[in-house]
A and B are shown apart, each in its own frame.
Chain A
Amino acid sequence: MSGFFINLVEVTAATVLDVLPIAIILFVFQALVIRRKPAKLKRVLIGFVYVLMGLSLFLVGLQEALFPIGKSMAEMLTNPEFLNIEAGSPVRWQDYIWVYVFAAAIGFATTVAEPSLIAVSLKAQEVSGGSLRAFELRIAVAIGVAFGVSIGAFRIVSGTPLPYYIMAGYGLVICQTFLASKPIIPLAYDSGGVTTSTVTVPVVAALGLGLATSIPGRSPLLDGFGLIAFASVFPIVSVLGYDMLISWLRGKNQSSSKKINKELNS
């Protein structure tokens, strides 16, 4: 238990150090450029304390409860013994089905809990006047991450080059950009950057490292990277896809209601 408190103090100190540059920049600009006391200063300061305390507790809790078990899980699932693979036999991607399932499930689950994604989706809901639902947006992003991390795991197992996958992802995003409705585009691009932070990176990185270490012929340094890249490109695809799906459903509804109106009128 005392280890827990030592950890809490350490994490809080690290979070404070993280916030410090931001606080200094904000303070300098308030004092030198804007030269006015910000409105509701006390409330803002309390808000900052909440953010600090909240993030510290969040991180300590993750370190105590989830990261160790998530990481050991990633190691066990990539272990040839668990996968019933004989030593020296050639790598077959089919043997790693549980790895892909785990990659998708953990990618989805960690993204739903990602605080920066919560922040962006709340703002999007507020700005859109509620027509974009924060929770639906997060689910769309999480599906993208699930798909991305799973394909990324397949790439490490199969040993195929990373750039082709990412380029295919980019190509898809470019095509979708021309088809999706305009207001979703900036938000979709943003969602690629926010998916991978506090919760997702440690677990996903452990998975990549575990895979690259246990598969013969893969180097952890060279092949262990790239999963984060998958988790940043595919959410853009899924959010744009979510928008296209909604427009399509809406169009279908409208045309069917038009039909009904027509029938009623005739």
Chain B
Amino acid sequence: MNKSVQGFLKLITDALRDLAPIIIVIAFFQIVVLQQPFPNIGGILVGLACVVLGLALFVQGLEMGLFPIGEAMATAMTRKGSLFGLLSFAFLLGFGTTVAEPALIAVAAEAADIAGQSGALANTIEAKANYAFGLRMTVALSVGAALVLGVYRIVAGWPIQYFIIGGYILVVVITFFAPPEIIGIAYDSGGVTTSTITVPLVTALGVGLAATIKGRNPLLDGFGLIAFASLTPIIFVLIFGMVA
């Protein structure tokens, strides 16, 4: 019991250390640069206490729940030898976690607004809703496809850099043909697809796979799934902007 209390205290101090930079930056700009008083200091302190406690709990839960289950899935699938099962799991994980992602819903709605204003699209609510929905599906499908490709890469042991460099070249080429108003959104969409819960799970899945499959190195082969999931949306959204 004493040990777990000690462990949790360590998590709390880690969380405090992680938050210290934000507190320092905000305080410095508020007091020195903007020379404003802090509004509602009590509320801020309560909020900060929540942030610290929340971060400590999250890290604890990571080690207990998300990491083990991700690795256990990888091990179990490899033992079963079902590549199809593994790839369909990867696809569903990518698609399922992205399609309902609040950040993506917000970005898709803004993109539809831009398309409506620029005249690329009829400026009606219905046309915009269709456009936003299509964009969301495109991104979700692209993340699903990315994880399938990424998992297959781990199984096959292909080096990652050729895929990523190839992806970059593709992005650059398509940029020249895509409508200018979609480019900013497309580039940003790579960053919004991977949520805080998906990342640990996907990372554990990749590392678990690389650790179970003979001849794979967890560091060389296990990482890289997130990279795929952040690159493909850029390509797909650019193409969507050209087609739609």
Chain A residues with a Cβ under 8 A of chain B? 4, 14, 17-19, 21-22, 24-26, 29-30, 33-34, 36, 38-40, 43-66, 69-70, 73, 76-77, 82, 98, 102, 105-106, 108-110, 112-113, 115-116, 118-120, 122-124, 127-128, 162-163, 166-167, 170, 173-174, 177, 182-183, 185-187, 189-190, 192-199, 201, 221-229, 231-232
Q: Are the CB atoms of A57 and B60 closer together than 8 Å?
A: no
Q: If the complex has contacts A64-B44, A73-B30, are A50 and B194 also in contact, measured as CB distance less than 8 A?
A: no
Q: If the complex has contacts A25-B96, A229-B191, are A4 and B46 also in contact, measured as CB distance less than 8 A?
A: yes
Q: Are the CB atoms of B25 and A116 closer together than 8 Å?
A: no
Q: Are the CB atoms of B194 and A29 closer together than 8 Å?
A: no
Q: Are the CB atoms of A113 and B65 closer together than 8 Å?
A: no
Separation of A98 and B56 alpha carbons in the complex (Å): 33
Question: For A123, what are the chain B residues with a Cβ–Cβ distance below 8 Å?
Answer: 67, 200, 203-204, 207
Question: For B217, what are the chain A residues with a Cβ–Cβ distance below 8 Å?
Answer: 183
Separation of A33 and B84 alpha carbons in the complex (Å): 10
Closest Cβ–Cβ distance, residue A54 to chain B (whole Å): 3
Separation of A60 and B58 alpha carbons in the complex (Å): 14
Closest Cβ–Cβ distance, residue A158 to chain B (whole Å): 15
Chain B residues with a Cβ under 8 A of chain A? 18-19, 21-22, 24-26, 28-30, 33-34, 36, 38-39, 43-69, 72-73, 76-77, 80, 82, 85, 89, 92-93, 96-97, 99-103, 110, 113-114, 117, 160-161, 164-165, 168, 171-172, 175, 180-181, 183-185, 187-188, 190-201, 203-204, 207, 217-227, 229-230
Closest Cβ–Cβ distance, residue B194 to chain A (whole Å): 5
Residue of A nearest to B165 (CB): A174
Separation of A116 and B194 alpha carbons in the complex (Å): 9
Separation of A44 and B96 alpha carbons in the complex (Å): 21
Q: Are the CB atoms of A66 and B51 closer together than 8 Å?
A: yes
Main secondary structure of the interface of A (DSSP, over half): helix
Kindly list 10 other residue pairs between chains A and B, CB separation below 8 angstroms, not including A53-B54, A115-B55, A120-B226.
A18-B102, A21-B99, A24-B96, A33-B85, A52-B61, A69-B30, A127-B207, A189-B223, A221-B113, A224-B184
Closest Cβ–Cβ distance, residue B68 to chain A (whole Å): 6
Separation of A183 and B101 alpha carbons in the complex (Å): 31
Closest Cβ–Cβ distance, residue A144 to chain B (whole Å): 13
Q: Are the CB atoms of B218 and A127 closer together than 8 Å?
A: yes
Q: Are the CB atoms of B76 and A36 closer together than 8 Å?
A: yes
Question: For A14, what are the chain B residues with a Cβ–Cβ distance below 8 Å?
Answer: 102
Closest Cβ–Cβ distance, residue B17 to chain A (whole Å): 9
Q: Are the CB atoms of B56 and A54 closer together than 8 Å?
A: yes
Q: Are the CB atoms of B220 and A22 closer together than 8 Å?
A: no
Q: Are the CB atoms of A163 and B219 closer together than 8 Å?
A: no
Q: If the complex has contacts A47-B68, A77-B29, are A65 and B24 also in contact, measured as CB distance less than 8 A?
A: no
Q: Are the CB atoms of A119 and B200 closer together than 8 Å?
A: yes
Q: If the complex has contacts A166-B187, A193-B229, A197-B194, are A113 and B22 also in contact, measured as CB distance less than 8 A?
A: yes
Q: Are the CB atoms of A229 and B190 closer together than 8 Å?
A: yes
Q: Are the CB atoms of B64 and A232 closer together than 8 Å?
A: no
Q: If the complex has contacts A170-B172, A221-B114, A222-B184, are A34 and B197 also in contact, measured as CB distance less than 8 A?
A: no
What 5 pairs between A and B have smallest CB-CB spacing? A47-B65, A65-B47, A50-B61, A47-B64, A61-B50
Residue of A nearest to B53 (CB): A57
Question: For A124, what are the chain B residues with a Cβ–Cβ distance below 8 Å?
Answer: 219, 223
Question: For A24, what are the chain B residues with a Cβ–Cβ distance below 8 Å?
Answer: 96
Separation of A49 and B64 alpha carbons in the complex (Å): 10
* Contact among B22, B26, B55, B66 for A47, CB-based, below 8 A: B66
Residue of A nearest to B85 (CB): A33
Separation of A266 and B85 alpha carbons in the complex (Å): 64
Closest Cβ–Cβ distance, residue A46 to chain B (whole Å): 6
* Contact among A18, A53, A186 for B195, CB-based, below 8 A: A18
* Contact among B30, B48, B58 for A54, CB-based, below 8 A: B58
Q: Are the CB atoms of B227 and A229 closer together than 8 Å?
A: no
Q: Are the CB atoms of A65 and B188 closer together than 8 Å?
A: no
Question: For A30, what are the chain B residues with a Cβ–Cβ distance below 8 Å?
Answer: 73
Question: For A26, what are the chain B residues with a Cβ–Cβ distance below 8 Å?
Answer: 69, 73
Q: Are the CB atoms of A53 and B184 closer together than 8 Å?
A: no
Q: Are the CB atoms of A162 and B187 closer together than 8 Å?
A: yes
Separation of A59 and B201 alpha carbons in the complex (Å): 20
Q: Are the CB atoms of B181 and A61 closer together than 8 Å?
A: no
* Contact among B24, B82, B222 for A127, CB-based, below 8 A: B222
Q: Are the CB atoms of A45 and B195 closer together than 8 Å?
A: no
Closest Cβ–Cβ distance, residue B5 to chain A (whole Å): 15
Question: For A231, what are the chain B residues with a Cβ–Cβ distance below 8 Å?
Answer: 191
Question: For B223, what are the chain A residues with a Cβ–Cβ distance below 8 Å?
Answer: 120, 124, 186-187, 189-190
* Contact among A21, A77, A192 for B34, CB-based, below 8 A: A77
